[in-house]
Structure 1
Amino acid sequence: MTGTTPTAWQQRIETLLHALADARRDAAAAQAREVALLAEAVEIAQAMAQDAGGPTSVADIPIRSLAAQIGAAARVSDRTVQKHMSDAVVLVEKFPATFAAWAAGDVSRGHVRVVVDAGVAIDDDAARAVFEDAALEVARRETPGRLKPAARVLAARLHPVSLQERHTAAATKREVWVRDLDDGMAELIAILPAAIAHGIRDRLDQYARRVIDARGALTGGGASAVDTRPTDARRISEVRADVFADLLLTGHATPETTNDAIPAGEAIIARVQVTVPVLTTLGHDDTPAELIGKGPIDTATALRFAGTATGWDRVLTHPVTGTVLAIDRYRPSDHLKRTLRVRDEHCRFPGCRIPTYRSDIDHTTAREHDGPTELTNLAHLCRRHHTLKHHSAWRVRQTPDGILHWTSPTGREYPDHPARTLTFTTERTDALRLAPDVGSSDGADPPTF
């Protein structure tokens, strides 16, 4: 297609996008149809068991038999089929709106899995319906990755048992164990409070990136002829694992691990971002705090962080939409940057979750086009999407509520909402969260789809 005009390319791309959208919609409908059939299979097996009227010890034989028939026909393990049959019933009966959205092609299998995983612990039908409606509103415009922390926060606010109580019980399951792998390797696995685990990962990332940066500087500047050190060809994941081992075994990253990039004993502080509702800090409410981008955390941990922080931001949000309106601090410093960091939480290109501390602050309307340096004209973009904005036909405009309206080269618009607005609760949600008759589940494993 040499010599094709830009308009012709755009038409071809637009046709491709329509075809992909139709294909995904058809695939979602087919997947939902399969789930509906598996739920129907459970109904058939239960009716067969009731008609048979045999001893309770063999009451599940009809469902086993039917699972075996389905498995044989589909060349899938009958145990896997039986698990999927059980999961199908949970989705169809407890999450009808999510199932309908999937069947209509509005959401994907990944969205469905996130909604069910987060909401399956809510036993009260009315409360679960409120959660489902709120989660689906987010799912229709966000990726499953962005939906997950929002759905977890929404579910926590509707759970009948406070997060602090559940965290206290869960914390008794802290554990570290080793699982042997092949080729002389092993996995070291730890169950820890979420804020601690993500803090550890962040500290390892900081060490590993400094090692990689130092290696790049050495290579770019040209190594000395007398430098006999072997070339470090490790990937960042390998460096991260080596730093992890050295920190645990020696208390600091050794030169052998870091290529002399990190002096022994130099402290690198882990970074986590936590939001705590003001009424929770005052003890007047039990709305859970949130580990940004991950989900709810217990109040005690959040308050401990707040008490030891050198400073903390006070965030004013819109009473209806949750949009960040303003932010201040007792000792103001880099006010606008902090406001943006709280509002954005991650790169603001649709679907991207690169955190703000690894992103650039970009003028939505460029400075050379008289774009002002103010909240409504700034947003975090990771380097990949910052480059895409300036070197492709993608365009973006920002509205006063912080929504970025991205326009693709073919003219499609994709709004990206500030993360703070995704989990904002309504009065109805709060009323149900505080209702005394809302039940909880027994903690069974969530369904998989």
Structure 2
Amino acid sequence: MSSSPAAATRRDTRSRGAVLGELERTRSRIAALQAEELGLLARADAIAAEQTARVPSSAGREREMPLREMAAEVAAVMRRSDRVIQDRLHDATVLVTGFAATVAALRAGAVDTAHVRIIQDAGAHITDPDARVRFEQAALVVCERETPGRAKPIIAMIAQKLHPVPLADRHAEAAAGRRVWVRDLDDGMAELAAVLPAALAYAIRDRLTQHAREVIAARRAAAPEKPTGSDGATAETGDDTGSASTAPAHPAVERPADNDPGVTDTRTTDQVRADILTDLLLTGHASTPVSSSSIPAGQAITAHVQIVIPAATLTGDGTAPAELIGYGPIDPDTARHLAGTADLWERVFTSPTTGAVQHVDTYRPNRAQRRHLDARDEHCRFPGCRRPVYYCDHDHTLDHARGGPTDVCNLANLCVRHHTLKHASAWNVIQKPHGILEWTSPTGRIHLDIPRRVLEFTALAAAEDPPPF
């Protein structure tokens, strides 16, 4: 009688270190096989192209047959749609011929297919061969050190900086294609979509989110008070911070009656955002009873976006792209316009030799260390985490109780999840120069977390060196 998979798992006595080591080797073998598959698909595409070349150019539709025939046969072998395979044949050829170093890195197990897609997507518009080689070198420096999620915005910025055509010119052309459309869905629904300049799209989402927070805050204020015990303490609290306060989040909002829609509103944040979008577009304001009761008359909600602008770009002396935090590169004209209407400016000074954030100053010089850390880190500094700094704690790398100084060289942003993990598990971290964190896992593996700007600077510096082939 054969044993169950669960029983086989229980008999597996491999240690944690052995499991992790085998995972690394397996991942490397899988990547090598994926690179081999790309080579095979590219060769199949080349065979079809050779057959197509032997068909007279006047044959018309007959010239399509070699590729369609090849795609159908490969699809049958791989059990995929021939239309999908035809696209994959083309993509494989583009990668093998246009991104040879990336395919080689995949074959060596240094990156995975998610990294490859990011490099291909970002570099596809760089047609100049020398610029693409430099881009690919820089992109691989990033991908060999970061997760795909973290690598994507860095690589997008690198592609913009190395692109031979100025971003302002490309943005003007792209902005001409802005549009809104509707796509029908099932069950009486439809999808409303728009292509807009990134700064406007992010500002719209931010404003909707602020409206939604006001609505949800009003809902919580309108909720019936929780029962109290004999000592007057609340029986239960939903405050994530552990606070026992029962004061309404917005005391200026009058508590509605029990039959008010705010009391029974159970919409999620996404649902509230969608409803407010509808209200704003159709009526000019958030007009539903719940929305109206949560926003005092005349209260303006202004969208907030964070832009990083090189000094030369800001003054008009340079054309380097600015960056919309959370999205990536935006054109200089848009950045300068947003800077001209900003209430608060912060100057971020970076090292000319490493790219590391060295100093942050502002016209409001309070909490300078927090501003420095937020500019340097941008997100949680645990390897692979992208939780924005707004939801993170400024953690002492060496505990303050053990003599760790409250200084930027001993502080880093950690989200609640990874702040807890650092203090409650065998994960350890030390801070290196330029804000680099060296994490040590419970099995002794070293994982470097490099600040985004240091990594981007290092990658661009690598792009300036001649390729090693």
Residue in structure 2 matched with residue 441 of structure 1 by the alignment: none
Q: Work out whether residues 430 and 439 of structure 2, in 8 Å CA contact, stay in contact via their aligned partners in 1.
A: yes
Q: Work out whether residues 279 and 285 of structure 1, in 8 Å CA contact, stay in contact via their aligned partners in 2.
A: yes
Q: 1:181 aligns with which of 185, 198, 223?
A: 185
Name stretches of at least 5 consecutive residues in structure 2 with no aligned partner. Answer: 1-11, 228-254
Residue in structure 2 matched with residue 397 of structure 1 by the alignment: 430
Distance 2:20 2:43 in 1: 34
Percent sequence identity over matched residues?
A: 51
Name stretches of at least 5 consecutive residues in structure 1 with no aligned partner. Answer: 1-8, 433-449
Residue in structure 2 matched with residue 300 of structure 1 by the alignment: 333
Distance 1:341 1:385 in 2: 17
Residue in structure 1 matched with residue 344 of structure 2 by the alignment: 311
Q: Work out whether residues 434 and 454 of structure 2, in 8 Å CA contact, stay in contact via their aligned partners in 1.
A: no
Q: 2:198 aligns with which of 178, 194, 202?
A: 194
Q: Kindly provide the CA deviation profile for residues 127-171 of structure 1, in whole angstroms up to 9, marking residues without a partner as x.
A: 111111111111011111111111111111111211111111111
Residue in structure 2 matched with residue 6 of structure 1 by the alignment: none
TM-score w.r.t. structure 1 length?
Answer: 0.87
Partner amino acid, structure 1, of 2:42: A
Residue in structure 2 matched with residue 48 of structure 1 by the alignment: 51
Residue in structure 2 matched with residue 94 of structure 1 by the alignment: 98
Q: Work out whether residues 158 and 429 of structure 1, in 8 Å CA contact, stay in contact via their aligned partners in 2.
A: no
Distance 1:400 1:53 in 2: 64
Moved more, 159-168 or 266-275: 266-275
Aligned-pair CA distance for 1:22: 2.4
TM-score w.r.t. structure 2 length?
Answer: 0.83
| 1:334 equivalenced with 2:337 (yes/no) | no
Q: Kindly tell me: are residues 426 and 352 of structure 1, through their superposed partners in 2, closer, same or farther at Cα, counting changes over 3 Å? A: closer
Aligned-pair CA distance for 1:204: 2.2
Residue in structure 2 matched with residue 37 of structure 1 by the alignment: 40
Aligned-pair CA distance for 1:212: 4.1
Q: Work out whether residues 347 and 355 of structure 1, in 8 Å CA contact, stay in contact via their aligned partners in 2.
A: yes
Residue in structure 2 matched with residue 84 of structure 1 by the alignment: 88
| 1:227 equivalenced with 2:230 (yes/no) | no
Aligned-pair CA distance for 1:246: 2.3
Q: Kindly provide the CA deviation profile for residues 330-389 of structure 1, in whole angstroms up to 9, marking residues without a partner as x.
A: 442322221111111111111111211222222222221222211111111222222222
Residue in structure 2 matched with residue 414 of structure 1 by the alignment: 447
Distance 1:336 1:93 in 2: 48
Distance 1:431 1:168 in 2: 32
Distance 2:323 2:429 in 1: 29
| 1:239-250 matched pairs, under 5 angstroms | 239-250=272-283
Residue in structure 2 matched with residue 14 of structure 1 by the alignment: 17
Q: Kindly tell me: are residues 268 and 405 of structure 1, through their superposed partners in 2, closer, same or farther at Cα, counting changes over 3 Å? A: farther
| 1:132 equivalenced with 2:136 (yes/no) | yes
| 1:381 equivalenced with 2:414 (yes/no) | yes
RMSD of aligned residue pairs (Cα, Å): 2.7
Aligned-pair CA distance for 1:23: 2.5
Q: 1:113 aligns with which of 117, 120, 125?
A: 117
Q: Kindly provide the CA deviation profile for residues 246-289 of structure 1, in whole angstroms up to 9, marking residues without a partner as x.
A: 23233333454449444354333322211111111222221111
Q: Work out whether residues 254 and 264 of structure 1, in 8 Å CA contact, stay in contact via their aligned partners in 2.
A: no
- In the alignment of these two chains, the number of paired residues is 424
- Residue aligned with 1:59, SS: helix
Q: Kindly provide the CA deviation profile for residues 98-119 of structure 1, in whole angstroms up to 9, marking residues without a partner as x.
A: 1111122211111100001001
Distance 2:164 2:88 in 1: 28
Residue in structure 1 matched with residue 156 of structure 2 by the alignment: 152
- Residue aligned with 2:303, SS: coil
Partner amino acid, structure 1, of 2:395: D
Residue in structure 1 matched with residue 30 of structure 2 by the alignment: 27
- Residue aligned with 1:60, SS: helix
Q: Kindly tell me: are residues 176 and 257 of structure 1, through their superposed partners in 2, closer, same or farther at Cα, counting changes over 3 Å? A: farther
Residue in structure 2 matched with residue 68 of structure 1 by the alignment: 72
Partner amino acid, structure 2, of 1:310: D
Partner amino acid, structure 2, of 1:352: C
Q: Which has the higher relative contact order, 1 or 2, with Cα contacts under 8 A spaced 6 or more apart?
A: 1
Distance 2:290 2:39 in 1: 53
Q: Work out whether residues 243 and 257 of structure 1, in 8 Å CA contact, stay in contact via their aligned partners in 2.
A: no
Q: 1:143 aligns with which of 125, 147, 155?
A: 147
Q: 1:270 aligns with which of 297, 303, 311?
A: 303
Aligned-pair CA distance for 1:419: 1.4
Residue in structure 2 matched with residue 442 of structure 1 by the alignment: none
Distance 1:357 1:256 in 2: 31
Partner amino acid, structure 1, of 2:49: Q
Aligned-pair CA distance for 1:18: 1.9
Distance 2:210 2:318 in 1: 36
Moved more, 23-32 or 217-226: 217-226
Q: Work out whether residues 306 and 324 of structure 2, in 8 Å CA contact, stay in contact via their aligned partners in 1.
A: yes
Distance 1:172 1:44 in 2: 40
Q: Kindly tell me: are residues 364 and 237 of structure 1, through their superposed partners in 2, closer, same or farther at Cα, counting changes over 3 Å? A: same
